[in-house]
């Protein structure tokens, strides 16, 4: 079991998270249920924040990439840890603001921000808009002009670094839909364009090379390219960026094919980035920029588990054994999307040895609705409580009402006590926006 997490097996042989017995949580709150460990989330926010403080004299800010898990409580935690957040839509921005998150510490991302989202962002006083296209620069300039403000912006550049991770979640290749490519000159052209806009205050660059990355070299290479770009723009346009945002992407443990990183490892990733920034600054004679990083998955991923109750079990002799749970792709679409491999354990018999490999199926009418295949487990029985680990990132945030299933609620565990941070959806909630035209009544 993962070292950093507060997951353990208690005297009853039950899985425990953050000091709370998972079987009791399932009984009290029902299943499917997302469970988040507050201490873990805070610990990861602090690792990054404190490393920036101690190794970079605090000249930077950690932005929690809230698309990984967005709800009011998580913004409240980020606020209390004195970090910033990034948001990628009007909905995330609304959630952050309604949790009382300070607008000036919000960074707004997105490859196709809507005009209405940009109006909302500028009107709310969002600290920084990260520009991803020239038409967006036009829109922000116009909106800021009408409001009589000068909007702080960064430009998303694409340094062309290929991170070795799942192809579907790579974002910084030259064929990416994100950012301006450095190699074909469009990033430099975008700088020139943005600098010509009188209601935009360009501060620097953003890059994000992908997600679930373990290669330190990929991050370092990206930093070097961004710093080289900074120097070249300084030379050609006489503009020296004072802010560099290096994005997120640090990997987490999902299964034993992946390394189990310790807090120290995350600290070391950040130190490697910081050292690369410093040495490139010296090489090019640049001032040390204000440094931003945007971890999402690594803050909440391993902080979360999902609890299910086992229902139907179907053994197709010699072929496959299906164990169906009361959730599925509507609470965790990542297997269906990327064949993501998770680890599952029986929360009520957590000490028992794994004796079989099963496919865990959801309850949606879709044969691809699986949580995983060939997952080692003890002999599973109907009524068992199944825990799927590392579901804190990109599970709730990607959930849907497919088949009109209710999106499961989420509880936050703190010192053994759990409370709702997202209430259960009711059937009433599901039909809330449905209308029947008069002529059909």
Ligand X SMILES: *Cc1c(COP(=O)(O)O)cnc(C)c1O
Which residues in 394-406 are b (16+ Cβ under 10 Å) and which e?
A: bbbbbbeebeebb
**Cα angle 151-154-156, degrees, rounded to a multiple of 5:** 140
Decide if 354 is catalytic: no
Q: Which is nearer to ligand X, 21 or 302 (CB)?
A: 302
Residue 60 Cβ, how far from ligand X at the closest point, in Å?
15
Q: Which residues bind ligand X (CB under 6 A)?
A: 65, 67-68, 86, 109, 208, 211, 247-250, 294-298, 393
Within 8 A by CB and 6+ apart from 148, the residues are: none
Nearer to ligand X, 231 or 292 (CB): 292
**239 CB burial (10 A radius; 0-12, 13-18, 19+):** middle
Contact assessment for residue 308 and residue 347, using Cβ atoms and an 8 Å cutoff: no
| Secondary structure of residue 112 in the 3-state scheme | coil
Q: How far is the CB of 380 from ligand X (least distance, A)?
A: 31
CA distance 162 to 193: 27
Q: Considering the complex, state which of residue 161 and residue 364 has its C-beta at the smaller distance from ligand X.
A: 161
Minimum Å distance from CB 228 to ligand X?
A: 21
Pick the closer one to ligand X by CB: 18 or 296: 296
As measured in angstroms, the least distance from the Cβ of 204 to ligand X is 14
Residue 92, token pair as written in the block? 């995330």
CA dist 362 → 94, 322, 338, 387 (Å): 31, 10, 16, 14
Closer residue to ligand X, CB minimum distance, 68 or 93: 68
97 φ, ψ (degrees, to nearest 5) = -65, -35
How distant, in Å, are the alpha carbons of 90, 168, 437 from that of 109? 10, 19, 37
In whole angstroms, how close is the CB of 13 to ligand X at the nearest point? Answer: 33
What are the catalytic residues?
365
């Amino acid at each position: 079991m993962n070292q950093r997490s507060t997951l353990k097996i208690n005297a009853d042989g039950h899985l425990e998270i953050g000091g709370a017995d998972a079987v009791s949580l399932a009984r009290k709150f029902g299943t499917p249920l997302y469970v988040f460990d507050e201490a873990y989330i805070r610990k990861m926010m602090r690792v990054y924040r404190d490393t920036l403080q101690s190794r970079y004299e605090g000249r930077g800010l950690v932005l929690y990439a809230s698309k990984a898990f967005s709800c009011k409580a998580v913004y409240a935690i980020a606020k209390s840890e004195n970090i910033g957040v990034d948001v990628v839509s009007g909905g995330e921005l609304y959630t952050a603001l309604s949790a009382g998150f300070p607008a000036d510490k919000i960074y707004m991302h997105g490859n196709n921000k809507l005009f209405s989202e940009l109006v909302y962002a500028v009107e709310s006083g969002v600290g920084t808009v990260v520009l991803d296209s020239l038409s967006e620069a036009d829109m922000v300039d116009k909106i800021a002009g009408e409001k009589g403000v000068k909007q702080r912006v960064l430009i998303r550049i694409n340094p062309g670094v290929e991170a070795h991770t799942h192809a579907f979640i790579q974002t910084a290749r030259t064929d990416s839909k994100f950012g301006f490519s450095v190699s074909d000159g469009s990033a430099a052209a975008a700088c020139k364009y943005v600098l010509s806009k009188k209601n935009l205050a360009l501060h620097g660059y953003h890059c994000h090379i992908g997600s679930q990355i373990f290669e330190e070299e990929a991050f370092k290479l990206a930093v070097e390219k961004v710093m080289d770009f900074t120097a070249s723009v300084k030379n050609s346009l006489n503009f020296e960026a004072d802010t560099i945002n290096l994005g997120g992407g640090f990997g987490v443990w999902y299964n034993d094919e992946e390394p189990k990183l310790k807090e120290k490892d995350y600290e070391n990733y950040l130190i490697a980035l910081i050292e690369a920034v410093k040495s490139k600054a010296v090489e090019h004679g640049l001032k040390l920029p204000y440094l931003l990083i945007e971890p999402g998955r690594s803050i909440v991923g391993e902080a979360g588990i999902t609890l299910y109750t086992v229902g139907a079990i179907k053994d197709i002799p010699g072929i496959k054994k299906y164990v169906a749970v009361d959730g599925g792709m509507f609470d965790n679409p990542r297997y269906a999307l990327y064949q993501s491999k998770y680890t599952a354990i029986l929360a009520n018999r957590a000490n028992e040895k794994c004796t079989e490999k099963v496919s865990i199926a959801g309850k949606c009418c879709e044969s691809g609705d699986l949580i995983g295949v060939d997952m080692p487990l003890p002999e599973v029985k109907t009524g068992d409580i199944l825990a799927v680990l590392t579901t804190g990132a990109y599970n709730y945030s990607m959930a849907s009402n497919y088949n009109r299933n209710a999106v499961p609620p989420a509880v936050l565990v703190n010192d053994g006590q759990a409370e709702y941070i997202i209430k259960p959806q009711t059937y009433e909630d599901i039909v809330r926006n449905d209308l029947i035209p008069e002529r059909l009544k």
